[in-house]
Amino acid sequence: MQDRICAGLAATDGKSTFREDSWQRPGGGGGRSRVLTNGGAFEKAGVNFSEVFGQMSPEFAAQLPGQGLDFTATGVSLVLHPLNPKVPTVHANFRYLTKGDKSWFGGGADLTPYYPYREDVIHFHKTWKAVCARHPAPVDYAKFKKWCDEYFFLAHRQEPRGVGGIFFDYLEGDFAALCKFVNDCGNSFLDAYVPIVRRRNDEPYTEAERFFQEFRRGRYVEFNLIYDRGTIFGLKTGGRTESILMSLPPVVRWLYDYQPTPGSREAELYDVYLKPRDWADE
């Protein structure tokens, strides 16, 4: 999955290639981190694979299903930060964990635009709805879409991070069926995102629009450092910090009490797109 996604993204970028760092985790396992920087489309793109195992701290283990401290975790996680503010940031993660007598799948994908285009948001959601429709329960697009809207929410800001997608966790049951679904998600990621990049990457943009993109990236950072389960899991289980924080954008800013100008495209993001909607049905 990592190989396929990286090949597709490098072809889309057209300028830079991924640097790969293989690493070993003290205590068990390791991974491959791949990062592309200063590309033709992506200012920073990271696609990580990891397979780690060992023991959790008793405090952290108590927060997850299953008995004991022993765990294994494997997955692919990616975050893509484009240069052009007309291209949205995207995140996806597909993982499998075991702890004691429990095992489960988790993951999803969500879109974080700065200057949204309606057709792009609809395309992203329709792609994931179609993926879910190919699989039986407990796969449920409406549930996963709602879960995504609720999960990628900055409670301290009382605003969503972006326009959502799908999110699922603690999926248990028929291993083969669920594994097929999660792999279908991973194999559908490029279909969900690359057409948007190709449509928007050559759009002209101003320094003011770039400034707004850097400001909105601050919300992304806040979510990943405060709420993101993958970030917390990696840090709490002794993962490779450089790989865990790969998700952070290279340039970001915080403004005091920013208020968009009424009627502007920046205001449209807040007024129209940062409100959960059934985009796949539009």
pLDDT, one tens digit per residue, over 32-80 is 999 999 999 999 999 999 999 999 999 999 999 999 999 999 999 999 9
Q: Could you give the dihedral angle defined by the CA atoms of residues 112, 91, 226 and 259, in that order, rounded to the nearest 10 degrees?
A: -10
> Does the pLDDT value for residue 238 go beyond 90?
no
Three-class SS state of 247: helix
Q: What percent of the chain lies above the pLDDT cut of 90? A: 92
pLDDT at position 229 is 87
> Does the pLDDT value for residue 140 go beyond 90?
yes
> Does the pLDDT value for residue 239 go beyond 90?
no
Q: What is the pTM (predicted TM-score) of this model?
A: 0.95
Break the chain into its structural domains and give their ranges: 2-281
Rg (CA), the chain: 18
CB 197 within 8 Å of CB 87: yes
Specify the CATH number for 2-281; select among 3.20.20.80, 3.30.230.10, 3.40.50.2000, 3.40.1500.10.
3.40.1500.10
CB 200 within 8 Å of CB 84: yes
Active site residue 91: yes
Which residue is catalytic, options 81, 91, 123, 125? 91
Q: What is the pLDDT of residues 104-136, one digit of tens each?
A: 999 999 999 999 999 999 999 999 999 999 999
